[in-house]
């Protein structure tokens, strides 16, 4: 389907729909207006009839009065008694009145009895014609209601005529819309074809023909702008090498740093990555590499490359205080290409840091596993000695072996859980969590440990922090690790304070102890794996050294964060900041 056809159909259908909707709306508006006029007139006549009958004691001939009013108003007049009987009707003979249905349930009579007057439209059971009724309640009169009725046949005839006229107008409008839309689409298509032909010539590289004026309307403005832009681009492409543009794009998008120097050692090209890595001054191009490259190893590589050598890659430390490491390689450029050298820098800081973390982790795991294994092996050898130890000593040795085996089991479980957390395999089962219930479960789980050190938990949960969304078991695990850490470092007989409060859109759960506190240098590192504050600051650190790290991962899994600080009165305080909703 061509653009012209699509444009024509879209405009024609929109115009046709607008005409059809407007025709329907006009017909409905006229119908409503005519019905409203008829209803207004009937109500006025009914009110007049009610006023004539009010305060009259008797009505000698109700049917004759109804006939007289009917002749004067050109409407059907009906008098209805309080019990619904028709006592007079201008459209029915007096002898036939007893055979009429009771009118107490008629819609307009019911409404008139409730509010004083009422109206309704329905097919008359007497005349079998669509009729509008209007009734009023008569005050202190010989009848209860006076009702006027008017056939809507004339209204329907007027609406039919209006509808025929509307259809004629709709047809004429659609014909005019068709012709105008077809003509407009033809003109629009001609202009767009002209713009497309010009664009095709520019695409093929033909800029020989003079630019044409496409007009001053919106399409013309766009076409003229495109025409001027295409010509400007053509002239620029003729002056600029395509290869340079490609090279600049590649260098700008590279994460590796690139420095190109000429045979004289002056910088010809640098990309944003290397300017950030080496903090080169702006502008750096045109300056000698010795002026801007202040790293001796890199300067030595440039010197060797400019002398024609191909030095091997090296690893250099740039700004040792910042602990940044780079892999550097310099290659000489061929003399037939004007000579020089190119430096490529890879930032391997994260790689070296990850390697160091791996080494530390392996060393820590080896140490943590080696200590209980040594104890287990020593006590097993003591049990296997000849002569064997006494039953009491054997029992004591077995208790030690059991404790060390349990410690190894806890360490392996914690390592596996950290591996799952790192791999994103821990899933949250979110539901409303009762903070008080979580604190109580932690208290129960650690009751034996706390009792052995004569410690207790003092909990205070604010009313607006009593519930938060999350995984209750994982939040309990995180809180248990914090409380266990507080127990390790808190003195015997002390209290561990747990508090929960609302802070804006977050719930803060704090665990505070009365221990020696945390040195400032260690505050940011205590959540690292196997990191412990100086062991001399506590009697028995216990645990696996992974509890705080697991707690941090579990809190972050909930979209929160965990903080550590020292209390002004002594001791440490850990804070879990969790989303409240």
Q: Would you list the DSSP string of 239-256?
A: HS-HHHHHHHHHHHH-SS
Q: What angle do CA 543, 553, 501 make, to 5 degrees?
A: 95
Residues 373 and 249 in one domain: no
- pLDDT category at 531 given cuts 50, 70, 90 is low
Q: Is the pLDDT of residue 306 over 70?
A: yes
pLDDT at 378: 81
pLDDT at 500: 93
**Which of 172-176, 230-234, 412-416, 516-520 is least confident?**
230-234
Half-sphere exposure of 471 (CA within 13 A, CB side): 15
Edge-first strand listing for the sheet containing 257-261: 267-270, 257-261, 341-347, 324-332, 314-318
Tokens found for residue 190: 């001609």
pLDDT at 577: 93
Q: Is the pLDDT of residue 213 over 70?
A: no
- pLDDT category at 435 given cuts 50, 70, 90 is very high
Question: Quick one: which of 90, 86, 85 has its CA closest to 73?
Answer: 90
Residues 451 and 523 in one domain: yes
CA distance 32 to 36: 6
Residues 146 and 76 in one domain: yes
Task: Read off the DSSP letter of residue 288.
Answer: B
Could you say which of 157, 176, 199 is where a domain stops?
A: 157
Residues 470 and 524 in one domain: yes
Q: Is the pLDDT of residue 380 over 90?
A: no
Residues 6 or more apart whose CB falls under 8 angstroms from that of 35 comprise: 121, 132, 152, 155
**Residue 358 placed within a domain:** yes
- The residue that leads in pLDDT, 138 or 382, is 138
**Residue 274 placed within a domain:** yes
Average pLDDT over residues 147-165: 76
Average pLDDT over residues 8-30: 74
- pLDDT category at 538 given cuts 50, 70, 90 is very low
Residues 26 and 143 in one domain: yes
Task: Give the CATH number for residue 409.
Answer: 1.10.287.130
- pLDDT category at 473 given cuts 50, 70, 90 is confident
**Residue 192 placed within a domain:** no
pLDDT at 8: 67
Contact 332, 305 (CB under 8 A): yes
Q: Is the pLDDT of residue 155 over 80?
A: no
Residues 382 and 336 in one domain: no
Contact 501, 466 (CB under 8 A): no
Q: Is the pLDDT of residue 460 over 90?
A: yes
**Residue 119 placed within a domain:** yes
Task: Give the CATH number for residue 482.
Answer: 3.30.565.10
Residues 6 or more apart whose CB falls under 8 angstroms from that of 422 comprise: 553
pLDDT at 420: 76
Phi, psi of 254 (to 5 degrees): -80, 140
pLDDT at 403: 75
Q: Which segment, 4-18, 133-147, 381-395, 405-419, is predicted with the most confidence on average?
A: 133-147
pLDDT at 35: 80
On the 0-12 / 13-18 / 19+ scale of CB atoms within 10 A, 438 is: buried
Average pLDDT over residues 407-413: 73
Percent of the chain with pLDDT over 90: 12
Place of tokens 């266990």: 484
- What's CA 4's distance to the chain center, in Å? 40
Q: Summarize pLDDT for 320-369 with one digit per residue, the tens.
A: 555 677 888 888 887 766 778 888 888 877 777 766 666 766 666 666 66
Average pLDDT over residues 69-83: 86
pLDDT at 456: 93
Task: Read off the DSSP letter of residue 265.
Answer: S
**Residue 198 placed within a domain:** no
Residues 6 or more apart whose CB falls under 8 angstroms from that of 498 comprise: 439, 457, 458, 459, 460, 479, 483, 509, 510, 511, 512
Average pLDDT over residues 97-111: 87
Question: Quick one: which of 548, 441, 439, 460 has its CA closest to 502?
Answer: 460
Q: Summarize pLDDT for 175-200 with one digit per residue, the tens.
A: 777 777 777 777 777 767 776 766 77
State which residues form the domain around 488.
431-579
pLDDT at 534: 54
Residues 51 and 124 in one domain: yes
> In a 3-state reduction of DSSP, which class is residue 572?
strand
> In a 3-state reduction of DSSP, which class is residue 570?
coil
Question: What is the number of structural domains in the chain?
Answer: 5
**Residue 114 placed within a domain:** yes
Could you say which of 302, 324, 345 is where a domain stops?
A: 345
**Residue 518 placed within a domain:** yes
**Residue 166 placed within a domain:** no
**Which of 126-135, 414-423, 456-465 is least confident?**
414-423
CA distance 498 to 465: 13
Q: Summarize pLDDT for 272-301 with one digit per residue, the tens.
A: 877 777 777 777 787 887 877 877 888 888
pLDDT at 575: 93
- The residue that leads in pLDDT, 281 or 454, is 454
Task: Read off the DSSP letter of residue 522.
Answer: G
Could you say which of 157, 189, 218 is where a domain stops?
A: 157
CA distance 529 to 525: 9
CA distance 246 to 258: 15
What does the DSSP assignment read for 95-161? GGGGGSPP-TT-HHHHHHHHHSEEEEEEE-TTT-SEEEEEEEEPTTSSSSEEEEEEE-HHHHHHHHH
Contact 292, 278 (CB under 8 A): yes
Q: What does R_g of the chain's alpha carbons equal in angstroms?
A: 48
Residues 416 and 442 in one domain: no
Q: Is the pTM above the cut of 0.95?
A: no
Residues 49 and 152 in one domain: yes
CA distance 66 to 145: 12
Residues 50 and 86 in one domain: yes
Residues 256 and 377 in one domain: no
CA distance 56 to 144: 12
- pLDDT category at 215 given cuts 50, 70, 90 is low
pLDDT at 204: 66
Average pLDDT over residues 457-462: 92
Average pLDDT over residues 468-487: 90
CA distance 339 to 126: 114
- pLDDT category at 73 given cuts 50, 70, 90 is confident
Q: Is the pLDDT of residue 373 over 70?
A: yes
Task: Give the CATH number for residue 255.
Answer: 3.30.450.20
Phi, psi of 404 (to 5 degrees): -65, -40
Residues 231 and 270 in one domain: no
Contact 364, 545 (CB under 8 A): yes
Q: Is the pLDDT of residue 540 over 50?
A: no
């Amino acid at each position: 389907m061509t653009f012209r056809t699509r444009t024509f159909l879209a405009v024609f259908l929109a115009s046709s729909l607008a005409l059809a909707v407007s025709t329907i709306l006009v017909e409905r508006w006229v119908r409503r207006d005519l019905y409203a006029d008829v209803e207004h007139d009937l109500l006025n006549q009914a009110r007049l009839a009610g006023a004539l009958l009010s305060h009259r004691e008797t009505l000698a001939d109700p049917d004759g009065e109804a006939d007289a009013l009917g002749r004067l108003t050109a409407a059907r007049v009906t008098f209805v008694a309080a019990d619904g009987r028709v006592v007079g009707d201008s459209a029915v003979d007096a002898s036939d009145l007893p055979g009429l249905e009771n009118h107490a349930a008629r819609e307009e009579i019911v409404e008139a009895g409730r509010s004083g007057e009422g109206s309704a439209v329905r097919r008359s059971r007497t005349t079998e014609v669509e009729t509008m009724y209007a009734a009023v309640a008569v005050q202190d009169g010989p009848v209860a209601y006076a009702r006027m009725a008017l056939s809507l046949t004339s209204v329907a005839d007027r609406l039919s005529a209006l509808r025929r006229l509307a259809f004629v107008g709709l047809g004429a409008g659609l014909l005019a819309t068709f012709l105008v839309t077809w003509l407009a689409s033809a003109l629009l298509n001609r202009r767009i074809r002209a713009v497309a032909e010009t664009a095709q010539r520019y695409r093929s590289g033909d800029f020989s023909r003079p630019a044409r004026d496409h007009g001053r309307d919106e399409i013309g403005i766009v076409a003229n702008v495109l025409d001027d832009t295409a010509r400007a681009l053509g002239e620029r492409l003729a002056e600029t090498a395509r290869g340079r543009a490609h090279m600049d794009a590649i260098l700008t998008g590279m994460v590796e740093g690139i420095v190109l120097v000429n045979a004289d050692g002056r910088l010809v090209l640098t990309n944003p990555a290397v300017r950030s890595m080496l903090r080169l001054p702006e502008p750096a191009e045109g300056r000698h590499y010795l002026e801007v490259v202040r790293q001796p190893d890199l300067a030595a590589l440039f010197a060797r490359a400019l002398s024609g050598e191909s030095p091997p890659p090296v690893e250099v430390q740039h700004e040792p205080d910042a602990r940044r490491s780079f892999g550097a390689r310099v290659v000489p450029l061929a003399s037939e290409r004007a000579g020089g050298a190119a430096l490529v820098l890879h930032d391997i800081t994260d790689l070296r840091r990850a390697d160091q973390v791996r080494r530390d982790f392996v060393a820590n795991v080896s140490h943590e596993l080696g200590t209980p294994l040594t104890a287990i092996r020593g006590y097993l050898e003591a049990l296997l000695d000849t002569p064997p130890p006494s039953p009491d000593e054997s029992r004591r040795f077995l208790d030690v072996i059991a404790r060390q085996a349990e410690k190894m089991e806890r360490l392996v479980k914690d390592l596996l859980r950290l591996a799952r957390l790192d791999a994103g395999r821990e899933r949250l089962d979110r539901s409303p969590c009762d903070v008080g219930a979580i604190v109580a479960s932690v208290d129960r789980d650690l009751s034996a440990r706390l009792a052995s050190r004569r410690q207790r938990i003092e909990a205070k949960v604010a009313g607006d922090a009593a519930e938060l969304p999350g995984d209750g078991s994982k939040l309990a695990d995180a809180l248990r690790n914090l409380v266990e850490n507080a127990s390790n470092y808190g003195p015997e007989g002390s209290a561990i304070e747990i508090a929960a409060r609302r802070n804006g859109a977050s719930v803060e759960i704090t665990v505070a102890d009365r221990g020696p506190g945390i040195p400032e240098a260690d505050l940011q590192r205590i959540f690292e794996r196997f990191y412990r504050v100086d062991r001399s600051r506590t009697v028995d650190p216990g645990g696996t050294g992974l509890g705080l790290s697991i707690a941090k991962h579990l809190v972050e899994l909930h979209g929160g964060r965990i903080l550590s600080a020292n209390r002004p009165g002594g001791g440490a305080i850990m804070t879990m900041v969790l989303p409240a909703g």
